[in-house]
Amino acid sequence: MKKTKKYMYMGNNMILHTAVKYFHSGQDWSHNGFPDKEHLPHFITSNLEHDAVKLVLEHFAEEGIASVTFVPASPKTGHVMVDDVIAAIRPSTCMISIMLANNETGIIQPVKEMFERVKQINTSRKTIPKILLHTDAAQAIGKIPVSVQDLGADYLTIVGHKFYGPRIGAIYVKDLGSSKEVPLYPMFYGGGQERSYRPGTENTAMIAGLGQASKLVTENIDKYNRHMEKVRDYLEDRLKAEFGEEICFNGRIGKSCRIPNTCNMSLLSVDCSGSEVLSHCTHVQASVGAACHAQNRPSPILLALDIEEDVARRAIRLSVGRETTQEDIDCAVNDLKQAVEKIQSKNTCTSAQRVE
Residues with catalytic function: 292
Sheet (strand 262-267) strand order: 247-249, 262-267, 315-319
For the chain, give me the number of helices (H) and strands (E)?
A: 10, 9
CA angle 329, 332, 333 (to 5 degrees): 85
* Overall size of the chain counted in residues: 356
Residues 6+ away with beta carbon under 8 Å from 94 = 19, 20, 22, 23, 41, 42, 43, 66, 129, 131, 132
Answer yes or no: are the C-beta atoms of 51 and 59 closer than 8 Å.
Answer: no
Please state, in angstroms and rounded to a whole number, the distance separating the CA atoms of residues 343 and 350: 10
Please state, in angstroms and rounded to a whole number, the distance separating the CA atoms of residues 204 and 42: 37
By C-alpha distance, which of 203, 202, 201, 196 is closest to 176? 196
| C-alpha count within 13 angstroms, C-beta hemisphere, residue 94 | 26
Please state, in angstroms and rounded to a whole number, the distance separating the CA atoms of residues 238 and 274: 18
How many other CB atoms are found less than 10 A from the CB of residue 349?
Answer: 10
Euclidean distance between the first and the last CA atom of the chain, given in angstroms as a whole number: 47
How many other CB atoms are found less than 10 A from the CB of residue 179?
Answer: 12
